[in-house]
Amino acid sequence: MPIRRSVLHSGCVIGADGFGFAPTADGYEKIPQTGNAIIEDDVEIGANACVDRAVMGSTIVHRGVKIDNLVQIAHNCEVGSHTVMSAQVGVAGSAKIGEWCMFGGQVGIAGHITIADRTQSGAQAGIAGTVRKPGQVIIGSPAMDARRFARCTAVFKNLPEMYADLGEIKSKLEEE
């Protein structure tokens, strides 16, 4: 069946071997990648992006997905319809991504996790575990609710002063 209305930009690679190696006493032995990669209709894949074929079964990029330049979709992943990913997003093997998700530049998605529909993730987030609740906005590493991340960042940049203050309080308590 032909792919309709999809665009594959220069240098993108569809169906290369996934990164599959098993350690041995002499180094690493290649695990055969015998599956395939399926690209559905209305997909756009940017320059130098890669969609690896599955070890067994299929890596699937569903209808309407938009993938920017330099994005990596590893073996056995499934990307839900109408999801968008911008520069340097990396999706590790066997991740399942929901529909209508948005991932900003340099988001890293761990392997063997599931991400709920309509999840949005900001730049450089590290999504290490399954996201179950649809419609969340997450950022940071490890990824967390964006509002919580903003509060944590405000505290983080004041940690040296807070640490010094804590030391002073501790000293005063020990004097008593």
**Residue 75 among the catalytic residues:** yes
State residue 98 phi and psi, 5-degree precision: -70, -175
Residue with tokens 């109408």: 82
Across the beta sheet with 96-97, the strand order is 36-39, 58-61, 78-79, 96-97, 114-115
State residue 164 phi and psi, 5-degree precision: -65, -45
Tokens of 133: 């609740």
The alpha helices in 14-158, defined as continuous H runs, are 146-156
Comparing CA positions, the residue from 75, 107, 77 lying closest to residue 89 is: 107
Among the options 9, 62, 75, 82, which is catalytic? 75
| Catalytic residue ranges | 75
